Amino acid sequence: DAGVIQSPRHEVTEMGQEVTLRCKPISGHDYLFWYRQTMMRGLELLIYFNNNVPIDDSGMPEDRFSAKMPNASFSTLKIQPSEPRDSAVYFCASSFWATTYNEQFFGPGTRLTVL
């Protein structure tokens, strides 16, 4: 079975540009999570969805960040305009409520560099 798929794997952009990160969760999973990992702040949850509905977006840093989940198999995280401090690895994860532990399965991450 395919795991969580993220694209692009690497993104280099200039300050002020719009960046869109994409995620395809594991088929059948009903939860989707977006995380950001930096050396300074570690791994922090940005937002998560249940059945395509945003449940908790308290970790979204500011209005420049937005996330959507138009259907069960696709989600985007958009940064507009991007800033150098947004440079990080962004992970998408998915889970299914009926698994034994409801553990989250992570994608390979997108390494974003904003110049």
Chain positions contacting another protein, by CB under 8 A: 31, 33, 42-45, 48, 50, 55-56, 89, 91, 93, 95, 100-109, 111
* Contact between 7 and 38 (Cβ < 8 Å): no
Name residue, tokens 């840093």. 61
Q: How far is the CB of 48 from another protein (least distance, A)?
A: 6
CB of 12 to another protein, least distance (A): 17
Query: Which residue's CB is nearer to another protein, number 81 or number 108?
Result: 108
Q: In whole angstroms, how close is the CB of 15 to another protein at the nearest point?
A: 24
| CB nearer to another protein: pick between 33 and 65 | 33
**Least distance CB 17 / another protein (angstroms):** 24
Tokens 């989250």 -> residue = 104
Nearer to another protein, 35 or 82 (CB): 35
Q: What share of the chain is helix, strand, coil (3-state, %, to 5)?
A: 5, 55, 45
- Whether the bond between 81 and the residue before it is cis, its omega within 30 degrees of 0, is yes
Cα torsion angle, 36, 24, 48, 30, sign: negative
